[in-house]
Every structure is written in C-alpha cells, then in structure tokens.
Amino acid sequence: MKQTTNTKKLALAGVLTALAIVGSFLSFPVAGSKCAPVQHMVNIFAAVLLGPGWGVGIAFCASLLRNILGIGSLMAFPGSMIGALCCGLVYKKCKNLSLTCLAEALGTGILGGIAAYPVALFLMGAAPAGLFIYVIPFLISTVAGSILAFLLISVFQKSGVMAQLFPTS
C-alpha cells in the first residue's frame, strides 16, 4: 500500500512539473512586467496535494528543466522554491486554502524577490537597481497564480473532483 501511495505521489509530481514547464509559455504583460502565473498555481496544488517537500522538489525540477531548455532564468530557483516551501508549510499546519495562497504570494513575491537580487548580481552578472527590484514583478505573477489556484481548487473541492481523484487531500 505504501509503495502504491509513493508511486501515485511521484506520478502526480511529474505531472505538476510538466505543467509548470509547459505553463511557462503562458505569460502576458501587466504593468510593464511579464506575468507568468502557472508555476505559482502549481506550487499551491503541490502544497495541497503533496506537501512542502514535494512542492520544493517540483519547483526545483521545473526551474532546472526550464533553464536546461533555455526557457527560464536562474531567478526561477529562489522565487519558485521559497514560495513552494512557504505555502507547503502553511497548508501542512492549518489546511486553510486562503492562507496557503497568501503564503505563496508573500513567499515568492517578497522573500523570493529579495532572494533573486544576489542571484542576479553574483550568478547572472546583472547590476540590479536595488534589493527590492524584483519584488513587484514577482508579486504580479504570484498573485495571479495564487488567485488561479484558489479558484480552481475551490471549484474542484465543491464539485467533488478533489475527493474522487485525491482521497487523502
């Protein structure tokens, strides 16, 4: 039974990783920033369905594969992984979807945005204008992804889809 559960979790993690990679092609301009919400939506789905460790692993794998494929930057690592950890820990602790979405937005937008500064400065050779330069662009994407995840998960829960597909969630 335990092996079946782990296999299902691994399969779901693979699907969420693939969704995050394919979803990186979906972006649109908002207030001079590129809004790409799918990774943030995936972080919340991973938090609700799998937990914080799986969420961080999915965010890492998606960021790594996007970089290998040339469709991402090194700044994807701190933003996605910190957000996944924050929302995963909050959902594990309180099982509240609204707080989980808020944790994703604050984790990625604020903490991930600040953590992106040294990545840009030291690893990418960029000269960012300040420590908080990435906060607003990160917040734009993560708020959109958090709203999308909240709406989808709420609909799935009310319709019974979550209980049928994921009986332990």
Q: pLDDT tens for residues 3-24?
A: 778 899 999 999 999 999 999 9
Q: What whole-number distance in Å separates Cα of residue 5 and Cα of residue 126?
A: 44
* Residue pLDDT, tens place only, 113-151: 999 999 989 989 888 888 899 999 999 999 999 999 999
Which residues share a beta bridge with 21? Answer: none
Rounded to two decimals, what is the model's pTM? Answer: 0.92
Residue 32, pLDDT > 70, answer no
Q: What whole-number distance in Å separates Cα of residue 53 and Cα of residue 147?
A: 22
Q: What whole-number distance in Å separates Cα of residue 162 and Cα of residue 169?
A: 7
- The 3-state secondary structure of the chain, one letter per residue: CHHHHHHHHHHHHHHHHHHHHHHCCCCEEECCEEECCHHHHHHHHHHHHCCHHHHHHHHHHHHHHHHHCCCCCCCHHHHHHHHHHHHHHHHHHHCCHHHHHHHHHHHHHHHHHHHHHHHHHHHCCCCCCCCCCCHHHHHHHHHHHHHHHHHHHHHHHHHCHHHHHCCCC
* Residue pLDDT, tens place only, 61-104: 999 999 999 998 898 899 899 999 999 999 999 999 999 999 99
